[in-house]
Amino acid sequence: MVSTSTAPADSAPVAGPELIVDALKQAGIDFLVVLPDLKLARLHELLENDPYFTTVTVCREEEGVGICTGAFYGGRRAAMLIQNGGLFVATNALVSTAIMYEIPMVLLIYYAGDIGDRFFPTVGQYTEPVLQALNIRYWVPREAHEVVPTITGAQVTASDSMRPVAVLLTRPVLAV
């Protein structure tokens, strides 16, 4: 088992949804597929109430890979806002559409079960190994100053490499 991330000693809020919205705008990401989650609720609400963003709520994360793929062909920078359990649901479409056809998209994934995050330790345990197995590059911002460069950089790398990439959003970064 390999874990590449480290966490601060406490899990006090370090950033928040407003900073993530700002980062998405700086990245030019204006098309968001969302599957609602308690920890993503404030961020989702900000996105839905901001005319800069087109948001599509899905019933199942695999749909979202398809919708982001369609939005890519429509000339948009697309991202998917999901929980890590949803990453597991989406793997078939990620492999045989996003990776196989080389479609750029940013996966913004709430890192449930991250160190100190209660209730979903198994989901947390398998998150990074699954991303590694899929050869999806990912980053875990831990400090406020890392949020904007990580999300804008992830968009550039997705676009340049024509692949999905992921940013794992921890509870301190989401401020929840």
Q: How many residues of this chain bind another protein (CB under 8 A)?
A: 33
User: Should residue 51 be labelled a site residue for another protein when binding is judged by CB under 8 A?
Assistant: no
Give least dist CB 86 to another protein, A.
Answer: 12
Site string for another protein, 82-111 (x = CB under 8 A): ----------xx--xx--xxxx--------
Applying CB under 8 A, among 37, 44, 53, 69 the residue interacting with another protein is 69
Q: How far is CA 55 from CA 27, 74, 115, 118, in A?
A: 16, 15, 30, 29
User: Should residue 164 be labelled a site residue for another protein when binding is judged by CB under 8 A?
Assistant: no
Query: Closer to another protein at the Cβ: 19 or 35?
Result: 35
Residues 6 or more apart whose CB falls under 8 angstroms from that of 12 comprise 172
Annotate 11-31 with b (16+ C-beta within 10 A) or e (fewer): eeebbbbebbbebbbebebbb
Residue ranges that bind another protein, judged by CB under 8 A: 31, 54, 56-60, 62-76, 78, 92-93, 96-97, 100-103, 159-160
